[in-house]
Amino acid sequence: MGNEAHAGARILIVDDEPQIRKLLKVTLAAHGYVVQEADTGEEGIRQASIFHPDLIVLDLGLPDLTGMEVLMRIRDWSGIPVLVLTAKDREADKITALDAGADDYITKPFGMGELVARIRVALRHSAKSTDEPIIRSGSLTIDLAQRIVELNEERIKLTPTEYDLLKALAAHAGKVVTQRQLLQQVWGNQHDEGDSHYLRIYIGHLRKKLEEDPSQPRFIITEPGVGYRFLTQE
């Protein structure tokens, strides 16, 4: 499977709206993907087990099961990348889905260009070896084995907390990591939900050390109300 286009990757669409399924199928097939459809949650779970998709596009509003139930049942046995579709005004749904194991989300109505780009990122991330000790993003290098961060081949001094936060984001490059997930990964069980201001402070510290212009970040992007996303540069 080519790393560029991921031609031939199998995508399962779980959505009860025929127009959206048709639009997605036509567009994704034109990009070289093999597409299967399901119009209910139960059928989506069944197809996930027999079609063996490389990625699932899952609408959270389904007629039988909720999209969250489908996601959690699939996560019981599979780490298939899941991109959820959410209504614009349901921010809480995005956070709940990401915390439950979704890889990304896109808000309806959405542009097909954005959806295809998100699918490429999710497929690229899932295809990478998880034991790769070095993460590269443009001029930034993170050596996980030695806990060394370099920018433009110069070592950047980070505090242990700053490093742990950067590692948590970079290890999920391209994916949204929620505030709750970051607090759990960096501070463990000693945090509570009101500690999100710590994140803003430490993200600010990281941006000052890593970004040419911290007000226009290239590496660490804020997803308002949800969390943060680490972008990889060529």
What's the pLDDT tens digit per position in 199-217? 899 999 999 999 999 999 9
Q: Which of 54, 64, 75 is nearest to 15 (CA)?
A: 64
Mean pLDDT of the chain: 88
- Cα(228)–Cα(213) distance, rounded to whole angstroms? 17
Domain end among 127, 154, 175: 127
Give Cα 40 to chain centroid, integer Å.
24
69 and 20, same structural domain?
yes
Domain boundary among 93, 127, 161: 127
Domain contains 4: no
Confidence (pLDDT) at 134: 83
Q: What is the pLDDT of residue 3?
A: 42
Cα(3)–Cα(232) distance, integer angstroms:
15
182 belongs to a structural domain:
yes
Query: What is the full DSSP assignment across 89-156?
Result: T-HHHHHHHHHTT--EEEEES--HHHHHHHHHHHHHHHHS-TT--EEEETTEEEETTTTEEEETTEE-
Indicate if 188 and 112 belong to the same structural domain. Answer: no
Question: Is the pLDDT at 4 greater than 50, yes or no?
Answer: no
One domain, residues 113 and 22: yes
Residues of the chain with pLDDT > 70: what percent? Answer: 91
Indicate whether 114 and 187 sit together in one domain: no
Q: Within a domain: residue 5?
A: no
Residue 189 belongs to a domain: yes
Q: What is the CATH number of the domain that holds 146?
A: 1.10.10.10
For range 49-71, the mean pLDDT: 92
Return left, alpha or beta for 101; rule: phi > 0 is left, psi -120 to 50 is alpha, else beta: left
Whether the per-residue pLDDT at 233 is higher than 80: the answer is: no
Partners of residue 228 on adjacent β-strands: 177, 222
User: The whole model's pTM is what?
Assistant: 0.75
Q: Residue 191 — pLDDT band, cuts 50, 70, 90? A: low
Rounded to 10 deg, the angle between the 160-170 and 196-210 helix axes is 90
What pLDDT does 42 receive? 94
Exposure string of 50-78, with b = 16+ CB inside 10 Å and e = fewer, is: ebebbbbbbbbebeebebbbbbebbeeee
222 vs 188: which has the higher pLDDT = 222
Average pLDDT over residues 131-139: 79
The yes-or-no verdict on residue 2 having pLDDT over 60 is no
* Statement to judge: residues 109 and 139 lie in one domain: no
User: pLDDT of 148-179, one tens digit each?
Assistant: 999 999 999 999 999 999 999 988 888 889 99
Residue 51 has pLDDT above 60, yes or no: yes
Q: How many domains does the chain have?
A: 2
Instruction: Based on the fold, state whether residues 171 and 86 are members of the same structural domain.
Output: no
158, 225: one domain: yes
Tell whether 51 and 84 lie within a shared domain.
yes
Question: Can you give the pLDDT at residue 87?
Answer: 78
- Predicted confidence at residue 90, as pLDDT, reads 74
Single residue among 127, 143, 173 that ends a domain in this structure: 127
The whole-angstrom separation of Cα 229 and Cα 221 is 5
In this prediction, residue 41 carries a pLDDT of: 94
| Model confidence at 47: pLDDT above 80 | yes
pLDDT at res. 127: 65
Residue 87 is assigned to a structural domain of this protein: yes
120 and 30 within one domain: yes
CB 210 within 8 A of CB 140: yes
138, 123: one domain:
no
Q: Specify the DSSP class assigned to residue 227.
A: E
Q: Distance between CA 169 and CA 229 in Å, rounded?
A: 7
* Domain shared by 143 and 110, yes or no: no
Q: What is the pLDDT of residue 171?
A: 84
What CATH number does residue 79 fall under? 3.40.50.2300
- Angstrom CA distances, 41 to 69, 179, 195, 206, stand at 8, 28, 35, 41
* Percent above pLDDT 90 for the chain: 59
Does any domain span residue 157? yes
Query: For residue 1, is it within any domain?
Result: no
Residues 98 and 37 in one domain: yes
- Assigned token pair, 121: 């990122």
Range of the domain at 120: 10-127
